[in-house]
Structure 1
Amino acid sequence: MSTNPPFASHGRPTSLSQRVVDGLSERIASGALKPGDRVPTEPVLMQEFGVSRSVVREAISRLQAGGLLRTQQGVGSFVLAPKVDVPPLQPLQGAELKLQQKLAMLELRLSLEPETAALAAQRRTPEQLAAMERALDDFDTQHTTGEGTAEADYRFHELLAQATGNEYFSHVLRALSSATIPRQSTARRTTRRVARFGESSPELRPGKEITAQEHWAVLDAIRRGDAAAARAAMFMHLNNSRERMRNASR
């Protein structure tokens, strides 16, 4: 049994969706569910874990974002083969990133993620769109209740990368996050903590409401299939994030 399930919120009670995530992740890690296998249907998972359909769908969405599952409309969800990680960026030293390092990371993302959003607008599937919506719903809920929003934030951006249909967008985004997050042991890849762009920055908490609005603007453009609008909305979101970080440091 793994002691480091993916997406776990350490030191906090395990949520209902986390129990489903942990259960399926353990089966994948142990080989009970192999690449190409179809995971149990929603009704089966609902009965097995004693949870609602929305909880099961949230768990599947999180496993999709973690690169463990893919969902095919009208067919089901299937286990993905482990991908070979690209060499990670050199981890930055120190417990916390310095301001200039955080700004540099945002600058790098500004050159990558607007195009990610544009491609996602053209290529996303209905299932991927629904998963993005759930990620933003989770972000809104966690912000409202005062919980950390980093996991839902990362999940949204990762789902955008997956929706491009180009696996290297996801590889680069994961490599980027590996340079900003202290990692636990990676000996068991399928059960390690999910990579994120960064933990919540206390100085940015007052801007969470604006961040949420910017996220939804990106998603709205993707929903409409408007690549140009999605590109512009993502650029504005990241550029505004950079300015908020600069202003908060003054």
Structure 2
Amino acid sequence: MNQHFTPVFSGARLSDQVAEQLSAEIKQGRLAPGDKLPTEARLVEQFQVSRTVVREAVSRLKSLGLLESRQGSGVFVSAQLPFAPLQFEARLAASQEAVVQMVELRRALEAEVAALAAERRRASDLRAMAHAVQALDRAVQAGGDGVAEDVKFHSAIARAARNPFLIQTLDYLSQFMHGATRVTRANEARRGDFVEQVRAEHQAILLAVQAGMPEQARQAAAAHMGNAICRIQSADPAFWLQEGERLAQALVKGLRR
């Protein structure tokens, strides 16, 4: 099994970031019960961290019942996972309505996440958020879609909330949210005013979290998701026929993993 992980960076504790990525792979089904984890050397290479960081992350996931060691064979995803996978109906996913519904779900979750982040954020969290916003700006300026950078920005806010249940829920849902984000950003990239709106909305969330203002952060995050829904609903019909439906297929692929 060829797993590809994103290198972690300073911000949240490195071992926590590694554990979160591995946990997401398990919860999203890309690492299934009984699958062997990549070797320690491979994980060190992909995450660009030390062996100590990888060992701490693996130890944490073992304590949660997600991983288990087999003498002489390596580390494997536990045969009996401590959760039941959430099921969605795949045939409903590849539609404009499904994308809107996924963003509605994000609005409910991320508004509260932003409020908690404003209460609990640390200096390292603020650096991670600022780093993510800068990376997103660079990606857009270079002509990219900014999907991965957009997801990282919202992930940095989630980590700052310091609620493992919210983080794990967002980790699981990220397989569906990533597909919806591809659609929303592809639509937004077609219009300069949309691009500027999104940038301003991200800045509003960041500033409220930086200032430690929970209610303003909640409102900014909810407004961002609400505006994303409006942008999708006002998309040129040609966008959906030419591009949107194809991008939404990522939702179906996530459901079938």
TM-score scaled by length of structure 2: 0.60
Name the count of aligned residue pairs: 183
* Aligned with 1:120 (options 117, 121, 144): 117
Matched, 1:245 2:242: no
Correspondence list, 1:29-40, <5 A: 29-31=38-40
Once superposed, which parts of structure 1, at least 4 consecutive aligned residues long, lie more than 4 Å away?
83-86
Inter-partner Cα distance in structure 1 for 2:181 and 2:235: 16
Inter-partner Cα distance in structure 1 for 2:123 and 2:158: 15
With 226-235 and 165-174 compared, the bigger mean Cα shift is at 165-174
Matched with 1:169 is 166
Inter-partner Cα distance in structure 1 for 2:188 and 2:91: 20
Matched, 1:211 2:198: yes
Change (3 A) 1:145 1:225: same
Q: SS of 1:200's equivalent? A: helix
Deviation string 1:61-85 (CA, Å, 9 cap, x unpaired) is xx9xxxxx79xxxxxxx74623648
Q: SS of 1:137's equivalent? A: helix
Which amino acid letter does the alignment assign opposite residue 89 of structure 1?
A: L
**8 Å Cα contact 2:93/2:99 also seen in 1:** no
Matched, 1:236 2:252: no
Matched, 1:200 2:197: no
Inter-partner Cα distance in structure 1 for 2:139 and 2:151: 13
Q: SS of 1:112's equivalent? A: helix
Matched with 2:138 is 141
* Aligned with 2:105 (options 99, 104, 108): 108
Correspondence list, 1:173-184, <5 A: 173-178=170-175, 180=176
Inter-partner Cα distance in structure 1 for 2:160 and 2:149: 16
Structure 1 residues without counterparts, runs of 5 or longer? 9-20, 40-48, 50-58, 64-68, 71-77, 182-195
Inter-partner Cα distance in structure 2 for 1:110 and 1:165: 18
Inter-partner Cα distance in structure 2 for 1:90 and 1:211: 31
Matched, 1:5 2:11: no
* Aligned with 1:93 (options 90, 94, 99): 90
Change (3 A) 1:86 1:104: farther
TM-score scaled by length of structure 1: 0.62
Matched with 2:243 is none
**8 Å Cα contact 1:86/1:175 also seen in 2:** no
Matched with 1:223 is 210
Inter-partner Cα distance in structure 1 for 2:83 and 2:188: 30
Q: CA deviation at 1:217?
A: 0.8
Inter-partner Cα distance in structure 1 for 2:163 and 2:39: 28
**8 Å Cα contact 2:113/2:161 also seen in 1:** yes
**8 Å Cα contact 1:121/1:227 also seen in 2:** yes
Change (3 A) 1:167 1:104: same
**8 Å Cα contact 1:118/1:227 also seen in 2:** yes
Inter-partner Cα distance in structure 2 for 1:135 and 1:151: 10
**8 Å Cα contact 1:116/1:164 also seen in 2:** yes
Identity %: 26
Q: CA deviation at 1:159?
A: 1.6
